[in-house]
Amino acid sequence: MNKIAWITGASSGIGRAVALRLADEGWQVAASARSTDKLAELEALRPGRILSFPVDVTQQDAVAATVAEIEDRMGPLDLALFSAGSYKRDSATCFQGKDLAEVMTLNVIGTGYCLDAVIPKMVARRAGHIAVVASVAGYVGLPGGAFYGATKAALINLCEGLYPELEKEGVRLTVINPGFVETPLTQKNDFPMPFLIGVDEAAESIVKGLKSGRFEIIFPWKMAVAIKLLNALPRPLLFMITRKMLRR
């Protein structure tokens, strides 16, 4: 029997790479994003294996309708992987609350709407796997990444809170915390990105991790160790290090 996966943020980056990887492993993949053109290109790469379902995840009714359409056309979801997200560099001296709201709306609220659409269905079936793409940036606040990091910290916390309840209801939940991955988002960065990896390597780590049953998938391991050590430091020592990251 074919397994059915729904992936948001599938038009580029990690979502796209995971969609292709799962399709190559025999999954039927419902790919969602706002860009209909990019989804059509993705669908053409794996005809019959990937079907496009354009949607803006910040529109709750549209998300619910999309999930209903996917399950009507393809069958019950075995996996829902939420990778839609955005990044906007911030600055304390040019703080824009609207920019924070914009990033929070897509990264957190949009993910919430997706969870709202799939959790009741999976709980009713006592089956299914949800995976949320957060980031190692959610472990510690870094200059220039306060907005993005705050959204990813929220997602990590959200998943930790939901995990025991969903486990009790027969639904698996995984949080995915990548380090720096070569994607359109990281191409915006004009600073050094330690332990940068390719998107195909990231997809391999994710798919392998999803099979493992672990709650957290974090990679690459060098970045995982570095960020967790940084988070464990006393705050005066942490700020001594992060001050060195300030722009001149």
CB neighbours (10 Å) of residue 51? Answer: 18
SS3 110: helix
Average pLDDT over residues 38-63: 97
- Averaged pLDDT, 77-87: 94
pLDDT at 182 over 90: no
> What's residue 223's pLDDT?
86
Average pLDDT for 233-238 = 93
Phi, psi of 131 (to 5 degrees): -130, 130
- Percent of the residues in the chain that have a pLDDT greater than 90, as a whole number: 77
Which helix (DSSP H) or strand (DSSP E) does residue 219 occupy?
strand 216-219
The predicted model gives 162-176 an average pLDDT of 98
**Tokens matching residue 143:** 């200059």
* pTM tops 0.75, yes or no: yes
Q: How confident is the model at residue 108 (pLDDT cuts 50, 70, 90)?
A: very high
Question: If pLDDT is split at 50, 70 and 90, which confidence band does 144 have?
Answer: confident
Q: What is the pLDDT of residue 244?
A: 86
Q: Is residue 148 annotated as a catalytic residue, yes or no?
A: yes
Residue 112 reports pLDDT greater than 90: yes
> Strand 28-32 relative to strand 50-52: parallel, antiparallel, unpaired?
parallel
107 φ/ψ angles, rounded to the nearest 5 degrees? -70, -40
Residue 33 pLDDT greater than 60, yes or no: yes
pLDDT tens string 93-102: 889 999 999 9
CA dist 28 and 174 (Å) reads: 20
Model pLDDT, residue 20: 98
The domain defined by 4-245 folds into Rossmann fold (3.40.50)
Confidence band of 24 (pLDDT split at 50, 70, 90): very high
What is the average per-residue pLDDT within 29-56?
97
The more confidently predicted of residues 46 and 192 is 46
What is the signed CA dihedral for 31, 212, 87, 6, rounded to 10 degrees?
20
Q: Domain map of the chain by residue range?
A: 4-245
Cα 223 to the center of its chain, rounded Å: 17
At residue 185, the pLDDT reads 62
Would the pLDDT of 79 be above 90? yes
Reply yes or no on whether the pLDDT at 187 is more than 60. no
pLDDT for the residue numbered 39: 97
Choice among 87, 113, 139, 148 that is catalytic = 148
Q: Name the H helices within the chain.
A: 13-24, 36-45, 60-74, 97-104, 110-125, 146-168, 199-212, 221-232, 235-242
Give the integer Cα–Cα distance in Å for 99 and 187.
19
164 Cβ contact list (under 8 Å, min separation 6): none
In this prediction, residue 128 carries a pLDDT of: 98
